[in-house]
Each structure stands twice: as structure tokens, then as C-alpha cells.
Structure 1
Amino acid sequence: MTGSGRDEAIYRNLYAAIVENHLEPGTKLPEDTLAEAFGVSRTSIRKVLQRLAYERLVDIRMNRGATVAQPTVKEARDVFAARRIVECGAIAQVVARATPAKLDELRDIVRREQDAEARGDRRESIYLSGEFHVALSRLSENDTISDILAGLVSRSSLVIATYGSPMSGSCRHTEHHDVLDLIAAGDAEGAREWMERHLREVERSVVLLEENPSAPDLRRILDDVAQRQRRQP
């Protein structure tokens, strides 16, 4: 395998491990450990980590190394807001270009999602939920939209892993059947409204706490001030 092919394989391996939540947010990614695991140099690992950092799936900090990214509350909300803009905006093109054969492919993803949910496989269920949304966007035949959404869906998985409760974050497969029915009927506005509502419900299912500053320890502050006052002549 060529150097570029090897780096791509390592990238895909780490990408899947992060997006499918096998590596939790905050997990350290030491270059030496990864280099040994993949049998490559630290230089190769560094290039892969930089690529993942560019996609905001990995954080790299000076003298602290790389870790799986932990989205802030603002970043989490920004991701969902961006998804609403992209997915709702693309739905008219999706409806215009959808065919029975393409919709059947999407229904197959929904069936696999249902099976994963029945098995209690949360990781697989969340992964297939995201895959459904990306595959749906591909019906628009706009590669730029699909590429943008794929990145947003990947970051959504980190949001869910960071803030979600054990049962949150995954779309209900029955809802996915609903949008396919609307698309099959050619109801672009109904599908757009469904997508807007659906994505807001998914966002609400993830526990996003406000990043308010912690309340000051008033007694300690006042005691410190009083002590300084007593020491003054």
C-alpha cells in the first residue's frame, strides 16, 4: 500500500472510531500509541490527526497532544442550526429528484436502524440515523450539500456523545418512514416542515446545559476582603 493509501486507511479507521462513539469525547490520542497500533511513523499519525482536527473531530493543543473533540454548548447548537439550514434548504431538490428505487434504498437504511434499535445497539442506531440523513441529502444530486451535511452529521455524533443521555440523540425510525412517505407523494413543503420539526426534536432530546459561569463563593470573597481590610493600617 502506498503512503497516501495507508494514511487514508488510518484516517478512515480513526474517523469511524470517533463518529461511531467507540472513542468518547475527551479521549487522548497519543501519537506514539497510535503509531505503534498502526505500524507507522508518528509523522503519518500527525498528518491524520491534523486532518481530523481540520474537520473538528479532534482537538490538538500545544504541549497537550490530541484528544477526541468535546463540543461546547454553543458549538452543539451551531451544528444543529446549520443542519436545519442545509437539510431544510435541500429538501425541495430531494423531492424533485427522488425515485421509487432511491427511496427503497433509504427504507432499507430505516429497516437496519430499526433492527439496531430492537437489539439495543445504541451506537449502531445513532450511526444509521446519521447515515439516513446523509443518504437523503444525496438524492438532491448536489455533492457540495451532501459533503457539508456529512461533516455536520459527524459532529452531531460528538454532540450526542458529549451531552446526550443514554437514550437520547437517535431519531425514531418511524419518523424517517414519515418523511419518505411525504417525499414519495411529492409534498416538498410538508417534507420541509417535517425536517424542521424533526431536527428540533432531535436537538431537544440531547441534554444541552447552559454554559453559565459558576456562582461566586460570596462568603469566601467577603472574608478575603475583610482580612485585607484588617491588615491595612
Structure 2
Amino acid sequence: MSGSRQMAESTSSVQEQASGSGPKKSGGKGLDAIYRSISAAIIEHRLKPGARLREDALADVFGISRTGIRKVLQRLALEQLVTLTPRRGASVTRPSVDEARDVFEARLMVECGLMEVAAKRITEADIQELRDMAKQEREALRNREQRSAIKLSAAFHARLAEISGNRTLAEFVGQLASRSSLILAVYGNAGHLGCESHDHDNLIELLAAGDGARASGFMERHLKSIEASLSIFEEPEETPDLKDIFAVDA
């Protein structure tokens, strides 16, 4: 069997099992539910970038086999929320500076481009749903519920993309929004999400008015504002003074 065919079958198996359609241990949570639990913990920063995800510990927590947990971790790795390292296992992905910049560049290209279509397709029901989501996010920010606000913001952007009707791009935006939560955890400033509390409300009103061009421009400013709020730079590489460090041992 060719390497490309093996990879395709492996990916298909991971997606099937992680979606909960494959077999699972009796009494344990479904794989899709476990995937959502771990994903939410990462997005909400309850699991920090770099945190190790031991298969045996997770299997014990969720009451399933390590094989099932491995499939969930593989799915999360496909979405770049988890990093799998030989002999070290799984850990929450810690985005590099280049990755952080790439994610926001991709979001600018995709999300801004979807606003014109969304403005044409949006319904009254969509507008009310978005207003409810924005209200929940404002309340979370007001109550200093950082984790909830981060999750709600990511969900808002994903829902906006869904309204465009392009499912493939909507899924991509959802993944980018999730990865952005990791970037916020690594490069963000405590107590600040980058989003102004009224930004999403302003965006909703532009879409409700059918003004796709202005909505696109506003989305661009919105995303650039989030990126500008981050401290995205490489930590300088330090050369330790070994003589000083080990002087006590001399």
C-alpha cells in the first residue's frame, strides 16, 4: 500500500472515530463529546499552551481506552490545537511567532472576503442570534469571565462565516478562531481580548443593513486591532553566564 493511501485511510479513520461513529468503550463518553471537552478546555485557556496531555490520565478521566483517547488527540492535532511528539506524547500547541502572524493573515483574507456574501444572505433570525451571542460576550467581559468571553468570541466569528453559506470556508474560520485562542494565551495581555466590547455589535448592524463593503472594511480593522493588541515577538535568545551559574559548585 502506498504511503499516500495509508495517510488518507488513517485520516479518514481518525475523523470517523473522533466523530463518534466508531466503536467506543461501554460506559465512557463518546469520542465526539471528549473531543469537544478537550477542545473547549484549550480554547478557554483551562489547558495552557505547552501543557502535556497524558493518554493514561485522559483515559482515566473520560472512562475510555487509551486507543480512543489517541484518536481524539490525533483529530485535535489535525486542527493544530495539539502537537504530537515522538516519545514525548501530546501537548497543547504553543504557536510560534510566524504561526501567529500566519493565522491572522489567513483570517483577514477569508473573513473579510465572506462579509459581502454574508450581508446578502443574512436573515432576521441570523441577526437576532448574532445579537444574542454578542450580548453574552459583553456580559462575560463585564463580569471578567475571560474564558467564557474567549469562547464566545470564537463562536461569533465562526457563526458569521457559516452565514455566508460556504461550509468549507466556515469550518476553516472555526479552526482559525480556535487557533487564535491559543495565540491569545501565548501573546495576549492579561485581561484584554483584543476585541472592543462594541465591535461585534457594530459589525452586526452593518450586515443587517446589507452593507457588505463596509462590513468587510470593519472586519479588517477589527482583526488588525486584535493582532495589534498582542505582543507577537520572539523572546531574545539568552546566553547564560555559565561561570556565574556554577560558581557555587566550584
TM-score range with shorter-chain normalisation? Answer: 0.7 to 0.9
Extract structure 1 runs of 4+ deviating beyond 4 A.
215-218
SS across alignment from 1:67: strand
Q: CA deviation at 1:167?
A: 2.2
1:65 aligned onto 2:85: no
The structure with more radius of gyration: 1
Tell me how far apart the structure 1 counterparts of residues 238 and 182 of structure 2 sit (CA, whole Å). 28
Tell me how far apart the structure 1 counterparts of residues 212 and 65 of structure 2 sit (CA, whole Å). 51
Bigger mean CA offset, 50-59 vs 5-14: 5-14
Q: CA deviation at 1:16?
A: 1.2
- Partner residue, 2:154: 130
Tell me how far apart the structure 1 counterparts of residues 233 and 133 of structure 2 sit (CA, whole Å). 32
1:111-138 alpha-carbon deviations (Å, 9 max, x no partner): 1011111111011111111111111111
Q: Is the 8 A contact 1:160 1:168 kept in 2?
A: no
Q: How is 1:41-120 mapped onto 2 (pairs within 5 angstroms)?
A: 41-120=65-144
Q: CA deviation at 1:42?
A: 1.1
Runs of 5+ unmatched residues, structure 2: 1-19, 244-250
Q: CA RMSD in A?
A: 2.0
Residue in structure 2 matching 1:168, options 177, 183, 192: 192
Q: CA deviation at 1:173?
A: 2.6
Q: TM-score, normalised by structure 1?
A: 0.88
Tell me how far apart the structure 2 counterparts of residues 77 and 14 of structure 1 sit (CA, whole Å). 25
SS across alignment from 1:35: helix
Tell me how far apart the structure 1 counterparts of residues 186 and 201 of structure 2 sit (CA, whole Å). 28
Q: TM-score, normalised by structure 2?
A: 0.82
Tell me how far apart the structure 2 counterparts of residues 94 and 177 of structure 1 sit (CA, whole Å). 15
Q: CA deviation at 1:217?
A: 7.7
Q: CA deviation at 1:207?
A: 1.4
Tell me how far apart the structure 2 counterparts of residues 168 and 206 of structure 1 sit (CA, whole Å). 9
* Count of aligned positions: 219
- Partner residue, 1:153: 177
Tell me how far apart the structure 2 counterparts of residues 187 and 100 of structure 1 sit (CA, whole Å). 15
1:9-47 alpha-carbon deviations (Å, 9 max, x no partner): 221111111112110111111111111111111111111
1:200 aligned onto 2:224: yes
Q: Is the 8 A contact 2:100 2:183 kept in 1?
A: yes
